[in-house]
Structure 1
C-alpha cells in the first residue's frame, strides 16, 4: 500500500504507539480511521514489530475488556484484528447464543461470506462505541478466509457467537461499525442493558421497544 504524503509510514506509527507499556488507547467513533476501508496488509511491519503489535492488541483487548480488537481501533490502518473469547457465561446464554470459548487468534487480511441464509439477532457492543449496545442481525454461520500472523492460510467456518465476533472485527477493517447494521430502535445504554435486557435473547426488548427480529432468531 502506498503511503499518502500526509500520513506517517505505518511502521513508524506502530513504533510510536509501542513506546509505552500497557494497553493502547482505543479510538472512539467519530475518528476517521474507523471509517476508512483498510487496504490489504502486505508486510508493512517486519516480523519483530508485527509480533510486538499483535501482543499490544492482545493486552489492550484483555484490559478493555473485549473479545476482539481491530488495528484501526488503536488508530492503525492495517488489515489486522485479534479475537479471543473465554466465554464465561451461564449455560442458558451459551445455548441461546452459541457462545463457546475461542482461543486467541490473529486475523490478517480477513474476509467472510455467509454460509446459508439463517440470521441471528442479539445485542452487540463495541469498544469504540462505549456505553451503548444495540441488536444486530447477522448471518448465523460464516466462512472466514485470512492469514495468521505467520502467513499461514486460514479457511474456516464459524457459527454462533464466534461467527458474530469474526464479522464484527472484519467489518472494522472495511470502515463499518456495528451501528451501521443495528436495529436503531434497540439502541440501549449500558444502564438500560443491566436493568432491562439481560435475557439470553432479545425477544422482550423487541416487543418492548418495537422492532422486528429475523425469524431464524426466534
Structure 2
C-alpha cells in the first residue's frame, strides 16, 4: 500500500473487531444462503463502531462473489449508492458502490454528480487530493430517517483490492469522491454523523419540505451552521 494512505476517519480510534476468520466465513455463508436480503443494521449496533477486519482470504472466491452480489442487491433495494459490509453485520473491509442516478440536472451540476459504475472494493483507503472541500446534505442507510451536511474532500485518490486479487487505484471527484469517503469511513467504525455539521441535522421530512435545494446555503443561514 502506498505510503500516506490511511483511514481518514474522525473521532476516537474505533476498537478492532474480535471476530475470527471462521466466524466471519460462517456469517457470510448464512447471509448468502438466506431467502431474503439481509437487513441493514442501524446506528447503535456495535458492528458499526468497530474497525472492520482486513480481507485476508477469509472467504473463498465463490463465497466472496456471492456476498458481493447480495450486497449489490441490498444496496439497490434500499435504495442507496453504496453499502459497506458492516452495514449488514459483517466486520469485513468490503464495500460496494454504484451510482446510476439520473435526476435534476441543476442539482447534479451543483454537486458534481455523475454516474459511478459498479465497483467492489476490498481493503479500500483514500487520501484527499488538494485542499478543496465541499459541503452537502448526506444520508446513510444505517441512520434511517435523518440527513445532515458533511464537508468532505472534493477529490480523493483511493486504493483497494479487487475481488480477483488485483491491486486497483483511481482518483474520484465530486459526488463519487463523497461516496468513496462515506463507505470507506464505515470500515473504520465512522458514521457520517461524526463528520457532520451538528446544527444541520434534520429529519428526511423536514429536509424534503424545507432544504431540498441543490446546495445547503439556505439551510446554513436558517439553521446557523
1:123 maps to which of 137, 153, 162: 137
**How far apart are the structure 1 equivalents of 2:161 and 2:20?**
29
Residues 22 and 59, structure 1, Cα contact 8 Å, conserved in 2: no
SS of aligned partner of 1:111: strand
Say whether the 8 Å CA contact 1:114–1:139 is kept in structure 2.
yes
In 2: Cα distance, 1:186 partner to 1:206 partner? 7
Q: Which runs of 5 or more structure 2 residues have no equivalent in the other structure?
A: 1-16
Query: Which residue matches 2:95?
Result: 81
Superposed displacement of residue 34, structure 1: 0.3
d(CA) in 1 for partners of 2:53, 2:18? 12
Deviation digits for residues 148-193 of structure 1, max 9, x if unmatched?
A: 1111111110000000000000000000000000000000101001
What is the distance in 1 between the residues matched to 2:109 and 2:59?
40
Whether the 8 Å CA contact 1:114–1:142 is kept in 2: the answer is yes
For residue 214 of structure 1, what is the aligned residue in structure 2? none
Aligned to 1:113: 127
Q: Name which of 140, 159, 179 aligns with 2:193.
A: 179
Q: Is the CA contact 1:22–1:56 (under 8 Å) kept in the aligned structure 2? A: no
Q: Distance in 1 between matches of 2:65 and 2:154?
A: 32
Q: TM-score, normalised by structure 2?
A: 0.90
Q: How many residues align?
A: 210
Q: Deviations over 1:120-147 (max 9, x none)?
A: 0000000000000000000100000001
Moved over 2 A (4+): 3-8
Q: Say which SS state the counterpart of residue 15 (structure 1) adopts.
A: helix
Q: Which is bigger in relative contact order (C-alpha 8 A, separation at least 6)?
A: 2
Look up the SS of the partner of 2:41 in the other structure. coil
Which residue pairs with 2:23 in the alignment? 9
Q: Which moved more, 1:38-47 or 1:104-113?
A: 38-47
Residue 9 of structure 1 aligns to a residue whose secondary structure is helix
1:194 to 195, 198, 208: 208
Deviations, residues 15-52 of structure 1 (Å, cap 9, x unaligned): 11222234211000000100001131101100000000
Distance 1:89 1:149 in 2: 31
- CA-based RMSD: 1.6
Match of 1:33 among 31, 47, 53: 47
For 1:18, the equivalent position in structure 2 comes to 32
| Alignment partners' CA distance in 1, 2:177 and 2:212 | 21
Q: Does 1:155 align with 2:169?
A: yes
SS at match of 2:33: coil
Q: Paired residue for 1:209?
A: 223
* Contact 2:135–2:151 under 8 Å retained in 1: yes
Structure 1, unpaired ranges of 5+: 212-218
Q: 1:6 to 1:86 in 2, by over 3 A?
A: closer
Distance 1:16 1:179 in 2: 30
Residue in structure 2 matched with residue 46 of structure 1 by the alignment: 60
Q: Is the 8 A contact 2:22 2:58 kept in 1?
A: no
In structure 2, relative to structure 1, the CA distance for the partners of 1:5 and 1:85 (3 Å cut) is closer
